[in-house]
């Protein structure tokens, strides 16, 4: 079949194939060929192009990009799908080219600061910075005016931004007061670093990156670099909070409960305290002692409470390298009744973990101290 064109006035697209394909997916889009032709004949802007089957462009296939005008790497089953689409429609985020968003790519200080500033000021209303050396200089200058940055704070615009810095800027921008608190909400956040993060959590601006079900605590992802997917989520939350904080928090509270239920997570944050930088259960004599000159001293009753291997691993990982801790705990798990478990040492930064158990002992001991 030769190509035929009807009322060709703008961009030629294989619209017939697309609509007939969509009509097979959903009856709501059903349309006959005659109805389509009538529409094209009366439209001053639509172009219709017929193709023989052998000439059909390969681009005509059902995918989320065509249907929702989104990104090919952001699918509806992704946790960040709605956030990315909403932020894109609001003009707050853009793709990285080739119709991709790059949700798992890391972001820089410049990217995050610029995105938040655009919530408050249009680009044309932000004055240029004299002798600017970086494209983001004017946005960083505006961020200072908005109170996002601390007084005198210097920013390396091209450096990857850690998640805790993303939270700090968010809390500052919204004018929230970081609350000093001894609350242990996230297993990987120390009290001295928790003020901004805990405030953001209590205002429903962050949920962290998952759960430590062994401890019954959340995991924040401290010192990990923020991702583009997380940026889209945060900018939407800031916009909603800014518009109506009461309604925002009510909606997010329901979502939090549903998320915890779906994950099978039970919050035990009130049951923990800090000891020498470790997240530990309050007054649990079955696991550790505070009466020690060591950095940490804990144990597992391997015959009667072997499940506490997981708890010791979680406690040590709250301060030390989780990979090294796992090696140490896995060694402890090899203890057998009546068999000696010789001292073995595992180095984690400036600390050493020693693991041992005597032949007649019913416990495996984990001791942590500063390495020589």
Please write the tens of the pLDDT for every residue from 253-283: 999 999 999 999 999 988 998 889 899 988 7
Q: Which domain holds residue 245?
A: 104-180+194-203+225-263
Alpha helices by DSSP H, listed for the chain, are: 15-25, 33-42, 64-68, 81-89, 109-120, 137-145, 163-173, 194-202, 228-243, 245-263, 308-317, 322-332
pTM of the predicted structure, to 2 decimals: 0.72
Do the domain assignments include residue 132?
A: yes
| Predicted local distance difference test score (pLDDT) of residue 169 | 97
| Predicted local distance difference test score (pLDDT) of residue 91 | 86
Which residues on neighbouring strands pair with residue 300, listed in sequence order? 364
| Predicted local distance difference test score (pLDDT) of residue 69 | 63
| Predicted local distance difference test score (pLDDT) of residue 193 | 87
Do the domain assignments include residue 90?
A: no
Q: How many domains does the chain have?
A: 3
| Predicted local distance difference test score (pLDDT) of residue 68 | 45
Measured CA to CA, the distance from residue 207 to residue 58 in angstroms comes to: 42
| Predicted local distance difference test score (pLDDT) of residue 265 | 95
| Predicted local distance difference test score (pLDDT) of residue 335 | 95
232 & 363 share domain: no
Do the domain assignments include residue 70?
A: no
| Predicted local distance difference test score (pLDDT) of residue 152 | 86
Do the domain assignments include residue 331?
A: yes
Segments of the chain scoring below 50 in pLDDT: 1-68
| Predicted local distance difference test score (pLDDT) of residue 345 | 97
């Amino acid at each position: 079949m030769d190509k035929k064109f009807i009322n060709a006035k703008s961009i030629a697209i294989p619209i017939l194939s697309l609509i007939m394909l969509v009509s097979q997916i959903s009856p709501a889009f059903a349309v006959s060929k005659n109805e389509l032709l009538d529409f094209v004949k009366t439209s001053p802007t639509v172009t219709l192009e017929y193709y023989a089957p052998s000439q059909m462009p390969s681009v005509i296939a059902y995918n989320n990009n065509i249907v929702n005008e989104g990104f090919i790497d952001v699918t509806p089953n992704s946790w960040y799908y709605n956030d990315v689409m909403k932020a894109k429609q609001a003009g707050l985020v853009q793709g990285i080219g080739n119709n991709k968003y790059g949700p798992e790519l890391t972001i820089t200080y410049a990217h995050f600061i610029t995105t938040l500033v655009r919530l408050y000021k249009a680009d044309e209303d932000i004055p240029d910075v004299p002798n600017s050396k970086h494209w983001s200089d004017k946005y960083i200058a505006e961020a200072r005016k908005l109170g996002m940055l601390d007084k005198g704070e210097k920013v390396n615009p091209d450096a990857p931004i850690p998640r805790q810095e993303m939270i700090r800027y968010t809390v500052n921008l919204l004018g929230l007061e970081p609350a000093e608190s001894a609350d242990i909400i996230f297993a990987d956040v120390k009290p001295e670093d928790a003020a901004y993060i805990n405030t953001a959590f209590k205002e429903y601006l962050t949920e962290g990156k998952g759960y430590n079900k062994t401890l019954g605590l959340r995991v924040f992802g401290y010192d990990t670099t923020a991702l583009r997917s997380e940026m889209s989520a945060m900018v939407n939350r800031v916009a909603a909070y800014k518009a109506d904080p009461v309604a925002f928090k009510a909606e997010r509270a329901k979502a939090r409960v549903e998320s915890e239920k779906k994950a099978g997570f039970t919050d035990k944050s009130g049951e923990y305290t800090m000891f020498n930088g470790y997240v530990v259960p309050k007054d649990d004599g079955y696991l550790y002692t505070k009466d020690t000159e060591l950095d940490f001293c804990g144990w597992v009753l391997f015959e009667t409470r072997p499940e506490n291997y997981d708890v010791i691993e979680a406690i040590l990982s709250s301060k030390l390298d989780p990979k090294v801790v796992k090696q140490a705990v896995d060694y402890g798990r090899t203890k057998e009744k009546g068999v000696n478990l010789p001292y073995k040492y595992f180095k984690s930064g400036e600390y050493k973990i020693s693991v041992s158990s005597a032949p007649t002992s019913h416990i495996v001991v984990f001791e942590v101290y500063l390495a020589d």
